[in-house]
Structure 1
Amino acid sequence: MKAIVCKAWGLPDTLTLEELPELQPGPGQVVLDVQAAGVNFPDVLIIQGKYQVKPALPFTPGSEVAGVVRAVAADVQGYKVGDRVIAFTGQGGFAQQLAVPVQALMPMPPGMDFDTAAAITLTYGTSHHAVVDRAGLKAGETMLVLGAAGGVGLAAIEIGKALGARVIAAASTDAKLEVCKAHGADVLINYSNDDWRDAVKAATDGKGPDVIYDPVGGVYAEPAFRSIAWRGRYLVVGFANGEIPRLPLNLALLKGASLVGVFWGEFVKREPKANLAAMAQLLGWLKEGKIQPHISARYPLADTASALNDMAARLVTGKVVILPQA
């Protein structure tokens, strides 16, 4: 089987496409034929050794997949060859086959396509944990989403609307904002403009947003935090800008505001039942049409480096997926 291999820390073009032995399930494992694998910004960081988790070299990146069960260990119950499943695993997704522990599997709902199934776990899981669990966003509140056209940003918009909130989308181009509008954003703000804080103030009648969802970091963090409402919740989701901001903590004091960390991967490990409940709610919303992953591009396995380069250059809207069998 073919797989993308990271042999040394570096940029996407250092990855190699290799022929590896077919996989066999170990105890408690299921082997999948991977039909689609979601690409996420952490993948760009992991291959450079810049993420919170640092796998041992060599390894195959890719953490969320959808596929078909091809082999099942003798001690595994509940799954059989031919089942269509979703899996979230720390690595190994950018390959034609993947061995995963059975507890990392979830059946694909009837009628769901593989692309959508591979695009829902990390981005929507992260945003659900952030918006619902950590921020406790309520109907009638206002949420500002930075980097709103990215995978987690669009997910946050849709989840906010599903909860009955008002959502302000902030992104770097008007074209990206049009994508945000199509996914339910109520107000659009281009933060490439110098007066974007004034636009946030005007959109909230001077009150400021109750929740700020920030997967970007960098230069946008402090001005956004200065705009937050009294008792607001600022969600620290990631640093796609590449710079970890240093916020003056007196801002939290003056606004009675909370700075809230969001680490979905650790949440999944520590609170698996809560994560399964969140995924069940997300799949329910998907069935009701309240959320719908936006897949802007699909790449064959051989073009994985191109997908990651586009992600690093912030050229991606929503999600992109790798199709290992194509």
Structure 2
Amino acid sequence: MSKTVQISSPAQFSGLLKSSKIVVTDFYADWCGPCKQIAPIYEQLSAQLSRPNHITFVKVNVETQKEVAAKYAVTAMPTFMIFKQGQVVEKVQGADPRKLQSVVKKLAAEADGGSSSSGFGGSSSSSDWRKSDLPKGYSDITDQVDLKGLELLNSDSEFGGVRVLVESSKPSGLQKDSKAKDWVESDTDEQLMMFMPFQSSLKVHTLQLTSLPPKASDDEEVPMRPKTIHIYTNRPQILGFEEAEDVPATQIITISENDWDATGTATIPLRFVKFQNVTTLVFFVVDGDGEGERVRLDRIRIVGETGEKRELGKLEKIGDEPGE
């Protein structure tokens, strides 16, 4: 469920400015194309950084909340304003995901006394539900995933969509009494295929995969954890299952039972030299660890370094020289 607050009155907005240390505000309009384009990025930030009375994400429809928009002289959409102790401290105009993420994460770190506890693009912290520390010298770069380009084949629609895999929020499988189905399960068999494009070229050092199948019961089949995964770099689009059999993988990883820690997370170092200047990854879950027919995946974390930003929507194959 989204943690973003939809503002329905000036009084509600004023109350939040008083009760929350930081208020991140998205001034938008339903007819605004760029507003719709950046909305998934804003929702991801909200899901990862929101904390009651500390950091609150809100949306203000300038058509229905004209008084609020006029008070802060909002004339262009989208406009993002960050309030600290009720005062505007940052303003971002236009759908610039990189700038928005940078400004919001900086304020979130300041709110925590100088160290980010979000798990979003920073070092591991005590509030991070994962137990495994990040490799020294590298950071969580999952925020570089281009959410609009994510694709997933052979997933059961009863469970969460592909975007839940790159959320940093604590999986429901680690929360008592949570009924949210915030994970992915394969559908007709144990195989999954996922296409993951990035906003910039990356150096990918390590993957952290989380899988939290429930304990076996008599009346239902329990999904398996992934066992064999083929990883492909810089493919322009998702592979078909038959096509993947003819394409050499950049790396094949095999996860054993002992690789999963107490949080259901396996930390997998990659052959770093093969994962330089990465603009897309394709994950092919070939089989699961067991005799079942379905595979479950809860979260994926990308660890490495960010590089040059690419223009969204244009995937270029690394290594090709531009034409004269």
Do both share a fold (TM > 0.5)? Answer: no
Q: Which has a greater percent of strand?
A: 2
TM-score, length basis structure 1: 0.28
TM-score, length basis structure 2: 0.29
Q: Which has a greater percent of helix?
A: 1
Q: Give the structure with higher Rg (CA).
A: 2
